[in-house]
C-alpha cells in the first residue's frame, strides 16, 4: 500500500464528515431564514486590512494551541483505552497552582518560565495519578473517578483562588491570583510576522505555540517510535495480548495517566503566560471536554489533532463576524458538533472498509475474527478428545 493511498484513506473520513457537517449546517441556516452562502463567506473573510487578516490568524492560532494540547492529552490516554475525562480538572488545578507558584517567586526569565511549566505539568500529572492509582489498586473506573475529581478540582481551585492565592483586591469584581512577573511571562511571536512580511496584528501570537508544537512532536515520536509507545498502543489494541507479551498493564495505566495529565497541565498556560498572566474567575473552562471532541476528530494522532484544533479554532473565529452578518454564533457550535458526530460515524465506516480491504489483501475473505470453535477446522490427522469422530481411516 503506498503512502499516498494510506494518507488518502486517513483523510477520507474527516473530509466526508466536514462536507456532511457543512450540508447540515447550511440546512439549519436556511431553516432560520438566513443565507448559507453568507455564512460560508464570513467563515473565510478575514477582514479588509492586512492587520485584520493577520489578527484573524493570531486569533485562530491562539485558540488552536490550548485545543491542541487538550486533544493531545485526551488522545494519549485514549490510545491505550483509557478515557481521561478528567483533563478538565487536571488543567484547572495545574493552572491555578502554576499561576500561584509563578507569582510567588522571582527568577531569571528562562528559569521562571520553566518553573511555571514544570509546576503545571507536575500538578496535572499528580491529579491524573489519583485516577490511575484508584484504577489499579481499587479497580475504580477512570471515567467515574475523573468526573468526581473534576468537581473536586473546581472546588479546590476556587478555594485556592479566593483564599491562599488571592491576588486581587477585596471587593474587586473579578478575583485573580497575583500577576506573573515579567520574567514568568512567555514572550509572544509577533516578530515572526515581520520575518515573513505580514502586517503586525493587534494581538500577540502566543509564544506557547512553540511549546505545543514541540510537545506534539515529542508525543508523536513517543507513540510511534519508542518501546514505551509500542507498549501503550499494544495495551490499547489488546490488553490481554499486551499482558501476555510482558507489558505490566497496571504500570502502563499509571504511566499513561501521568503523561496525559502532564500534557493536560499545559492547556491553561498559553492564556496564563501569554495573555492574562493570572488565574482568575474568568478562566477559560471546558477545554478538557472540547479536547475529547478534538481528539476524536483528529483520530488520536498528533498531526490529526493539530488539524482538528486548527479547524475548531478556524470555526470559532467566525463566531463574532457571523453575528455581524446576523447569523447566530451557535451555527459554529452546530458545525463543530455535526463534524464530530459525522467523524465518529465516518471513522467507523472507514475502519470497516480498511479492514475488509486488508482481509481482501491476503485473499482470506471470510470473517476471521470468530476463531474456529473447539474441535473446529482441525487437521485431517487430528483425533481430538472433543471430536471423537475424526479417527483416521
Partner 1 sequence: MTKTAALLLAGGLALSACASDEDGGDGGGSGGGSEGTLKVGVAYDTGGRGDKSFNDSAIAGVEAAVQALGGDVDEDIEELSPNEDDSNREELLTQLAENDFNPVIAVGFAYGDIIADIAADYPDTQFAIVDTSVEDLGVDNLTGLIFAEEEGSFLAGVAAASKSVTGHLGFVGGQQSPLIEKFEAGYVAGAKAVKPDIIVDVTYLSPAGDGSGFGDPEGGKVAAQGMYQAGADIVFHAAGGSGEGVFEAAVEAGQRAIGVDSDQYLSASPDQQAVIMTSMLKRVDLAVEEYLNSFADDSLESGTDILNDLSTEGVGLSESGGYIDDIQDVIADFRQQIIDGDVEVPTTP
Partner 2 sequence: MAEGPAGAHAAAAGTGDAPYAVELRGITKRFPGVVANRDIELRVRRGEVHAIVGENGAGKSTLMKTLYGMHRPDEGTILLDGRETTLRSPADAIAAGIGMVHQHFMLADNFTVLENVVLGSEPTRGGRLDRAEARRRIREISQRYALNLDPDVLVEELGVGDRQRVEIAKVLYRGATTLILDEPTAVLVPQEVDELFGNLAELTREGLTVIFISHKLDEVRKVADSITVIRRGTTVGSADPRTTTARQLAEMMVGSELPSPQTRTSTVRETPVLELRGVTVASLGGRPAVDDVSLTVREGEVVGIAGVEGNGQAELVDAIMGLRPAEGVVVLGGEDISGWSTRARREAGVGFVPEDRHRQGMLLEAPLWENRILGHQTRPPAVKGPFIDRTAARADTERIMRDYDVRAPGPDTLAVALSGGNQQKLIVGREMSAAPRLLIAAHPTRGVDVGAQSAIWELLKDARAEGMGILLISADLDELIGLSDTLQVMLRGRLVATLDPSSLTPEELGGHMTGASDGAVGAL
What x/- string results for residues 314 through 333 when contact with partner 1 is judged by CB under 8 A? Answer: x-xx-xxxxxxx---x--xx
DSSP 327-382: --THHHHHHHHHHHHHHHHHHHHHHHHHHHHHHHHTT--S--SSPPPTT-S--TT-
Decide if residue 237 touches partner 2 (CB under 8 A): yes
Give the nearest distance from C-beta 352 to partner 2 in angstroms: 12
DSSP 109-136: HHHHHHHHHHHHHHHHHHHHHHHHHHHH
The alpha carbon dihedral of 311, 316, 321, 327 has a sign of positive
Give the nearest distance from C-beta 81 to partner 2 in angstroms: 12
Residues 335 to 374 in contact with partner 2, rule: CB under 8 A: 354-355, 357-374
Residue 88 or 231: which CB sits closer to partner 1?
A: 88
Map residue 296 onto helix, strand or coil: helix
Count of residues in the chain: 393
Q: How far apart are CA 71 and CA 290, in angstroms?
A: 8
Binding partner 1 by CB under 8 A: which of 7, 144, 172, 237? 172
Number of amino acids touching partner 1 (CB under 8 A): 65
Q: How far apart are CA 73 and CA 290, in angstroms?
A: 11
Decide if residue 352 touches partner 1 (CB under 8 A): no
How would you class 7 by CB atoms within 10 Å of its CB: exposed for 0-12, middle for 13-18, buried for 19 or more? Answer: exposed
Of 26-34, 169-177, 257-265, 374-382, the segment contacting partner 1 by CB under 8 A is: 169-177
Which residues would be at the binding site for partner 1 (CB under 8 A)?
38, 41-42, 44-48, 50, 52-54, 56-57, 59-61, 63, 154-155, 157-159, 161-162, 170-176, 196, 198, 202-203, 213, 216-217, 276, 280-287, 290, 303, 306, 310, 314, 316-317, 319-325, 329, 332-333
Which residues would be at the binding site for partner 2 (CB under 8 A)?
1, 224-231, 233-234, 237-238, 240-248, 354-355, 357-393
Amino acid at each position: 500500500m503506498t503512502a499516498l493511498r494510506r494518507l488518502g484513506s486517513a483523510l477520507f473520513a474527516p473530509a466526508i464528515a466536514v462536507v456532511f457537517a457543512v450540508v447540515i449546517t447550511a440546512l439549519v441556516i436556511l431553516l432560520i431564514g438566513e443565507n448559507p452562502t453568507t455564512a460560508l463567506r464570513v467563515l473565510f473573510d478575514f477582514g479588509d486590512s492586512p492587520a485584520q487578516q493577520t489578527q484573524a490568524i493570531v486569533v485562530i492560532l491562539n485558540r488552536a494551541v490550548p485545543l491542541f494540547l487538550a486533544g493531545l492529552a485526551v488522545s494519549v490516554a485514549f490510545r491505550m483505552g483509557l478515557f481521561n475525562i478528567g483533563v478538565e480538572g487536571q488543567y484547572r488545578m495545574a493552572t491555578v497552582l502554576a499561576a500561584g507558584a509563578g507569582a510567588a517567586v522571582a527568577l531569571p526569565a528562562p528559569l521562571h518560565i520553566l518553573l511555571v511549566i514544570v509546576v503545571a505539568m507536575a500538578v496535572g500529572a499528580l491529579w491524573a495519578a489519583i485516577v490511575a492509582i484508584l484504577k489499579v489498586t481499587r479497580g475504580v473506573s477512570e471515567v467515574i473517578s475523573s468526573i468526581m475529581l473534576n468537581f473536586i478540582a473546581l472546588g479546590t481551585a476556587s478555594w485556592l483562588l479566593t483564599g491562599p492565592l488571592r491576588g486581587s483586591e477585596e471587593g474587586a469584581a473579578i478575583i485573580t491570583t497575583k500577576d506573573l512577573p515579567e520574567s514568568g511571562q512567555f514572550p509572544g511571536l509577533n516578530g515572526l510576522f515581520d520575518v515573513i512580511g505580514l502586517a503586525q496584528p493587534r494581538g500577540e501570537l502566543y509564544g506557547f505555540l512553540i511549546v505545543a508544537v514541540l510537545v506534539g512532536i515529542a508525543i508523536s515520536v513517543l507513540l510511534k517510535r519508542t518501546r514505551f509507545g509500542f507498549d501503550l498502543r499494544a495495551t490499547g489494541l489488546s490488553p490481554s495480548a499486551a499482558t501476555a507479551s510482558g507489558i505490566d498493564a497496571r504500570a502502563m495505566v499509571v504511566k499513561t495517566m501521568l503523561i496525559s495529565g502532564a500534557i493536560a497541565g499545559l492547556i491553561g498556560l498559553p492564556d496564563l503566560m501569554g495573555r492574562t498572566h493570572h488565574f482568575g474567575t474568568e478562566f477559560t473552562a471546558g477545554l478538557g471536554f472540547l479536547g475529547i471532541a478534538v481528539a476524536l476528530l483528529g483520530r488520536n494522532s498528533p498531526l490529526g489533532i493539530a488539524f482538528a484544533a486548527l479547524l475548531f479554532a478556524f470555526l470559532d473565529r467566525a463566531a463574532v463576524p457571523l453575528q455581524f452578518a446576523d447569523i447566530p454564533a451557535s451555527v459554529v457550535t452546530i458545525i463543530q458538533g455535526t463534524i464530530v458526530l459525522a467523524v465518529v460515524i465516518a471513522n467507523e465506516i472507514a475502519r470497516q472498509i480498511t479492514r475488509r480491504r486488508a482481509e481482501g489483501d491476503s485473499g482470506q475473505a471470510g470473517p476471521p475474527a470468530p476463531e474456529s470453535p473447539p474441535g473446529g477446522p482441525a487437521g485431517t490427522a487430528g483425533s481430538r478428545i472433543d471430536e471423537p469422530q475424526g479417527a483416521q481411516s
